[in-house]
Structure 1
Amino acid sequence: MAMCMVGMDDDATLRTWTTGLRRSAPPVVLLHGGPGIPDYLQAVAQMLDDVTVVHRYDQRGTGESGWDGLHTLARHVHDLKCLLDEWGHEQVVLVGHSYGSDLASYFTLAHPERVVRLVHLAGPFTGNWREPCKATEVSRRTYTQQSRFEILDAMKVRSEAEEIEFLALSWFTDHADRRRAWRWALEAARIRRPINYSMNSQLSADKKADPLDARIDELRDVLPSGSMIIGGAGDPRPADELTRLGTRLECDVVILPETGHFPWLEAPGRCRSLLRSAVEGPRT
């Protein structure tokens, strides 16, 4: 695995990783979620890097990609374009997870000629999904856990231990496998830090100013054939919204049973098969 720091056309430098070798399948770029947390998609890269070259990176302001300026969708879309130019790829398969699926969509809208296929993992969510998601999250916590979560959420400053506890309480509801949910969330809370809350707020506001919901018809018109949405029936975010989005985009949607927000954890074999079929599909 090659790690490389890549400079942008401003004063930012992004940490990137490249695995695999160029073969007949198009190159892949993985876009992590958040926004505001470092990359965590190494396991997904390992599902694909024996068939093609796979890139991933810490988005600016996360992990080792330091940045203290204003975050906008346009800037993050431009970062991805700069990376494709640096890597020498005219076209790639974009695989976005969670918020990364939003970023992949905005990039495709801006540069459809650079995307040979789009794969959405557990996103993007449009329509009225936040209220049912919150209700499911609350239902998966005990009364004591919910009370503790609300106390930690209200704190303006949290200690390191409190931050790890808060993130674990936030994230364990993402998993359908209730036996392993807490362990997975606690492991993630210990390494996917620090959280860039300012970045999260700024990009969330930018998404509201330019909602993807309002651009679905435009996205459908430029969406490459063979693109797909992969979701989990056990994700607290309602899978029905992904199905409706797939209908609007006229693309395939696969909802994996007994699987949450991270399908490669709970359904690794099926997730690997779907990803590889999307990546190795014919170019159009």
Structure 2
Amino acid sequence: MDGIVSKINGVSLWHITQGQGIPMVLLHGGPGAYDYLEPIADMLDNRYKVIRYEQRGSWRSEKKGPYDVETFIDDLEHLRLHLGIDKWVVCGHSWGASVGLAYTVRYNCQVKALIYISGTGINPAWHIDYRINRLENMSFDEREEYTQLRSIVNQMSGIEREHTRNRIRELSLRADLFNKNNFSMLPRVDGQFVNNEVNQKVDCNEYLESDEFRNEVISSITAPVLLVHGEVDPRPYKYVKELASNLKNSEFRLISQSGHYPWLDNPTTLGKLIHDFVARKVTGI
């Protein structure tokens, strides 16, 4: 399946649809990564009409700003309208989970359910715990290299700085894994994990961790929400559990022996959690 590119909200976005049934859109991480969620789509397309797309600035989509949370939300809504979908299930991973949460705040009436995989929650305290956990998940040599590169990267420029940033990101991604042998299966295009320009320009923390946004999340989301997290993801699950406790209609599920990419470590459990949740909360089975 090759997908198509359509003009959506003033930018060319790559998207693809597979399967039949309840519409479900998948939101990849980043910011500035690309669609790596085909494994999740493949476990769901026997029951759902699964839509995947690449956010603006990502690989097969147009590299055109602005790159900010509000624009990513608008892009997603315009994609829904372009596809002629009334309501859909929104399923995001990592940064995509945050986009899905923000989209649901604004377009709650268009969301049948939200599935929030490997997110961070909305409490800014998660950053400190994450940095500690990330280092603890590295080997001694990785930790030494990571710390050293972080201390000098801002003194670099050009290609040297770009290569160093990519190496820092690679070390960080290794810490995300429960099974380190899955590193070769992590998403990248031509050796790149993300579009660094997009990743640096999206000031998601200012938007997603503001008091205003937290209040909107708590007060406005009525759609059912499933929050799924890997037990050894360095992003601490206690903040995702805290988010779940503040939502009106939510369920938090922890997947054991799983890191930031639960479809790599425990795909059967992830698939079952999603199927069971949608069956109960959306189709009423």
CA distance in 1, matches of 2:108, 2:254: 26
- Which residue of the partner structure matches residue 234 of structure 2? 236
Residues 1:209 and 1:120: Cα distance change in structure 2 (over 3 Å) = closer
Residue from 39, 51, 54 that aligns with 1:55: 51
Which runs of 5 or more residues in structure 2 are unaligned? none
Aligned residue pairs: how many?
275
Residue from 115, 120, 133 that aligns with 1:119: 115
Moved more, 263-272 or 160-169: 160-169
Moved more, 217-226 or 159-168: 159-168
CA distance in 2, matches of 1:231, 1:55: 22
CA distance in 2, matches of 1:258, 1:149: 24
Q: Secondary structure at the match of 2:112?
A: strand
CA distance in 2, matches of 1:109, 1:40: 25
Q: TM-score, normalised by structure 2?
A: 0.87
Moved more, 70-79 or 91-100: 70-79
- Which residue of the partner structure matches residue 279 of structure 2? 280
Say whether residues 1:7 and 2:3 are aligned partners: no
CA distance in 1, matches of 2:132, 2:209: 23
- What is the CA distance between 1:220 and its match in structure 2? 3.4
Residues 1:212 and 1:161: Cα distance change in structure 2 (over 3 Å) = closer
Paired residues of 1:30 and 1:56 also in contact (CA < 8 A): yes
Q: TM-score, normalised by structure 1?
A: 0.88
Say whether residues 1:133 and 2:130 are aligned partners: yes
Residues 1:87 and 1:212: Cα distance change in structure 2 (over 3 Å) = farther
- What is the CA distance between 1:194 and its match in structure 2? 5.6
- What is the CA distance between 1:4 and its match in structure 2? 1.0
Say whether residues 1:146 and 2:148 are aligned partners: no
- What is the CA distance between 1:189 and its match in structure 2? 6.1
Paired residues of 1:94 and 1:115 also in contact (CA < 8 A): yes
Q: Structure 1, residues 103-129: CA drift from partner, whole Å, max 9, x if none?
A: 011111111111010010011422211
Q: Structure 1, residues 73-129: CA drift from partner, whole Å, max 9, x if none?
A: 111111111110111101000001111111011111111111010010011422211
Say whether residues 1:255 and 2:257 are aligned partners: no
Moved more, 227-236 or 148-157: 148-157
Say whether residues 1:267 and 2:266 are aligned partners: yes
CA distance in 2, matches of 1:138, 1:86: 43
Residues 1:60 and 1:218: Cα distance change in structure 2 (over 3 Å) = same
Q: Structure 1, residues 228-249: CA drift from partner, whole Å, max 9, x if none?
A: 1001111111111111111111
Paired residues of 1:152 and 1:158 also in contact (CA < 8 A): no
CA distance in 2, matches of 1:104, 1:112: 10
- Which residue of the partner structure matches residue 103 of structure 1? 99
- Which residue of the partner structure matches residue 221 of structure 2? 223
1:215 aligned partner, one-letter code: F
CA distance in 1, matches of 2:281, 2:241: 24
CA distance in 2, matches of 1:198, 1:152: 19
- What is the CA distance between 1:39 and its match in structure 2? 1.2
Question: In angstroms, what is the RMSD of aligned CA positions?
Answer: 2.3
